[in-house]
Structure 1
Amino acid sequence: MVINYLERSAIDDTLWNNCISESFNGIVYAYTWYLDIVSPNWTALVSNDYSYVFPLPAFNRFNVDMLLQPLFTQQLGLFSANQITSEILNEFIQQIPQKFKYINIHLNTTNKYCGTAESIDRITYQLYLVQSYSKIQESYSQNTRRNILKAIAFGVDVIKIESSVVFIDFYRNHGVKFKKPKYTQIEKLINFLSENGHGEIIGAYFRGELCAATLIVKGNGKLIYLFASSSSLGLQKRAMFAIVDQIIRWNSESHLVLDFEGSIIPSIARFYAGFGAKP
């Protein structure tokens, strides 16, 4: 197989995005428009016919070229509608230009790496939504059931939010803290996702006050739980339990997968698993 290293300007967006759309392991993080926001200087390894593509999130820090996994991009790696063997994956990895002196990237869940470079297995939690809501609910943990009932008793109301501005302001105040340049990038990503039909903002209100919110990213048969935050009031009222339960209720009996991504923080991993999500 001929593998070409391409700068961003040389990549054909239509061919690339068609590959991601048709790939058995395609995911929203790998579309050109997503990469352009989270990793503006990205490059790629591409087969001649674009049947295999491998994005390279390139950064330059301290005059050193490196590949670093971008924020809000859980997994990348090799994508294709064809079979991806360990041999094909290794062939692509061996073609990564030597100019990149440091590499820390996350392959996707279907990429089975058998090379010699140091690697760490990570966990992602997913919940298949093909069953009825009542059937899925049977897999909830007792703790999750109890917290959902508490949210209902408190009178927490879960609705879809049309305004990305409302969500961005809430996330800035109650989400993960970043420096200003990262917030600019976050706002650009949230706005693009919501304005182009790739994202859905869901909020929880207590007595008219927004107390928890999440942005679900939609694409390639998945609902990705990407941005989520709660105020102290939201934590007290168990609002995020109500939000996730409502997402499952709205999307049950579909061929979608609710992808919580993963977490090395035990309490967050327990939250995901409490809804029946499996690694």
Structure 2
Amino acid sequence: MSLRYLHHAEIDLAAWDTCVTVAQASVPYAYSWWLTVTVGKWDAVVELNDATGAYNSILPLPAKWRPWGRQVYQPAFTQQLGLLTTAESQQQNLTEYLALVAGRYSRFYTQANVSNNIWQLPAGFASTERRTYLLDLAPNYATLLAGYAADYKRRLRRNQQQIQPLVVKEGETGTALVELFRLYKGGEVAELKAWHYRQLAALINALQARGLASIVEVRQPGTDNLLASALFVKHRGGLIYLFAAASPAGKQAGAPLLLLDHTIQQYAGTPGFVLDFEGGMIPSIARFFANFGATPAPYAAVALSTPQPWYMLWKP
């Protein structure tokens, strides 16, 4: 077994995806088709089985050129990457992989996954803690519902008591979801540009083509106006609450609560399934997730502590 730094053209995509599929941590963001949509090209450090050509572990390195040199960055719609290891891996320490990265990039930032052990980092690297919220879906729905905040349970009962209660339905495409977000949140999220929305549309198409997308909607009875919608990604480890939007009327009516409750109810009682709310750094959002009984899970963001000028880079 050997650790090797590979440029994108040197990566065996079939071996890559096999590694992602059998990795001990389920990180769908790392599949080659996901990275192709969100990044285009990426480098990597891989643990190569010299006898078979299989990848026993991988560290994705999304990279791009900037005036100050090449940099590794965290792409949009990709909460976690980090080190993915298989049962055959002989390397479990992210530090060993980062040692092969040092000196290659002027700037470096990546978000590891919740399974990564961040031990002593190589010189020049530093880590900060981020967190997401996770909900174990193995218990039955009655047990999970008992863990909701009292106010959430009241809102759900109140909706059912309405003459025309709001109902969650499956959405056919992500177009309405994306447009709802652009209409009510696009101006607040300045970092999302027009090309990000095209990227998101392509990602939704890729997920739907593989049967991995669940799009749910709540519409106003009578008018059919879209109140809220959400995209969940299905993978072998559970669900990811990837993208969501709601109108002011939808928030007032508690439509986002209904979307999440519907999904929790649908997948409750599934051993080994976890709902990743994909967020929690903003206190108000963290409280929203915690009110479903979700608990915080830390993961590390790793960066170069001192950016390197391009003329200091020497490795091919």
Deviation at 1:182, TM superposition (A): 1.4
Q: After the TM superposition, which residues 176-187 of structure 1 pair with which residues of structure 2 at under 5 Å, given as runs?
A: 176=186, 177=189, 178-187=192-201
Quick one: distance in 2 between partners of 1:21 and 1:69? 21
TM-score normalised by L of structure 2: 0.83
Deviation sequence 1:224-276 (CA, Å, 0-9, x none): 00001101111110100011001011111112111102221111101111111
Identity of aligned residues (%): 33
CA RMSD of aligned residues (A): 1.9
Per the alignment, do residues 53 and 260 of structure 1 end up closer, same or farther by CA in structure 2, a change over 3 Å counting?
same
Higher relative contact order at CA 8 Å, sep ≥6: structure 1 or structure 2?
A: 2
Structure 1 residue matching 2:34: 3-state secondary structure: helix
Match of 2:218 in 1: 204
Q: After the TM superposition, which residues 114-129 of structure 1 pair with which residues of structure 2 at under 5 Å, given as runs?
A: 114-116=119-121, 117-129=125-137
Greater alpha carbon shift after TM alignment, 2-11 vs 258-267: 2-11
Deviation sequence 1:171-223 (CA, Å, 0-9, x none): 33234442112111111112211232111100111212211000001112220
Deviation sequence 1:83-140 (CA, Å, 0-9, x none): 8798632111111151211111111111111224221111111111111100111111
Structure 1: gaps (5+ residues) = none
Deviation sequence 1:150-185 (CA, Å, 0-9, x none): 444552110111123333333332344421121111
Quick one: distance in 1 between partners of 2:141 and 2:245? 24
The structure with the largest alpha-carbon Rg is 2
Greater alpha carbon shift after TM alignment, 112-121 vs 211-220: 112-121
Per the alignment, do residues 87 and 51 of structure 1 end up closer, same or farther by CA in structure 2, a change over 3 Å counting?
closer
Structure 1 residue matching 2:266: 3-state secondary structure: helix
Contact 2:93 2:119 in 1 (8 A): no
Match of 2:26 in 1: 26
Structure 2 residue matching 1:229: 3-state secondary structure: strand
Write 1 or 2 for the structure with the bigger share of helix: 1
Matched letter for residue 237 of structure 1: A
Greater alpha carbon shift after TM alignment, 85-94 vs 44-53: 85-94
Question: Is 2:99 the counterpart of 1:91?
Answer: no
Contact 1:122 1:262 in 2 (8 A): no
Contact 1:150 1:237 in 2 (8 A): no
241, 252, 267: which is aligned to 1:251? 267
Question: Is 2:62 the counterpart of 1:57?
Answer: yes
Per the alignment, do residues 83 and 147 of structure 1 end up closer, same or farther by CA in structure 2, a change over 3 Å counting?
farther
Quick one: distance in 2 between partners of 1:259 and 1:88? 24
Structure 2 residue matching 1:20: 3-state secondary structure: helix
Aligned residues: 279
Quick one: distance in 1 between partners of 2:158 and 2:180? 23
